[in-house]
Amino acid sequence: MKQELTALMPMIRRFAYSLTGSAPDADDLLQTTIERILSRGVPEDVELAKWAFRVCRNIWIDEYRARKIRHNASQLPELEEPTVDGENIIYNQITLGQVNTAMDQLPEEQRSILALVAVQGMSYKEVAETLSIPMGTVMSRLARARIALSQFLNSSSAEINA
C-alpha cells in the first residue's frame, strides 16, 4: 500500500492544490491525507486511489469549515493572519492566477468535480464512484462549473482589455 500511495502522491497533491489554491496548504492537506490513510487504513472493497481522493476532499471540507468558524469567531484585525502571499501575487499576474481565482468562485462541490475531471483526468464514472454521487449529478455540476468558469474568465479578460 505504501508504494501505491507514493505513486498517487503527485495526483493527490494536484487535487489538494486545486482545492486550496495554495502550494503550502496543498502540501499540508496531502500530508494529512496520507497520515489519515496510513493510520486508519483503506476499506477492503474500495480502490486506494478513489479512497485517497475522498479522504483528501473530506479533510479539506472539515478544514474549510473550521477556518470559516475561526474567522467568524475572531473579527479583530490583529488576530487575523496576513493575506499577502508573494506566490499568489505572481500567479494573479498570469492566466493560471485568473483560473485559480475563477476556481475559488465556484461552490466546493463544483470545484472538486472540475478538479477531478480536468486536473486528474478522471472519467465521469470514476468521479461518481469516488464521491459517491450519481453520474448525472457529476455531469450537471461539471457543466455548471465550466459555464461559471468561462463566464468569469471572459469577464476578467474583458476588464483587462478595457
Instruction: Could you list the beta-strand ranges (E) of the chain.
Output: none
Q: Give 120-133 pLDDT, tens digit per residue.
A: 889 999 999 999 99
Domain boundaries, the chain: 1-81, 86-162
Domain 86-162 -> CATH class = mainly alpha
Q: Give 39-64 pLDDT, tens digit per residue.
A: 998 888 889 999 999 999 999 988 87
Mean pLDDT of all residues belonging to the chain: 82
Residue 92 pLDDT > 60, yes or no? Answer: no
3-state secondary structure of 25: helix
Contact 114, 106 (CB under 8 A): yes
When mean pLDDT is compared across 47-56, 68-77, 100-109, 125-134, the lowest value belongs to 68-77
All three cell numbers of 27: 502540501
Q: Which of 43, 70, 46, 33 lies closest to 130 in space, CA to CA?
A: 46
Same fold, 1-81 and 86-162: no
User: Which CATH code for domain 1-81?
Assistant: 1.10.1740
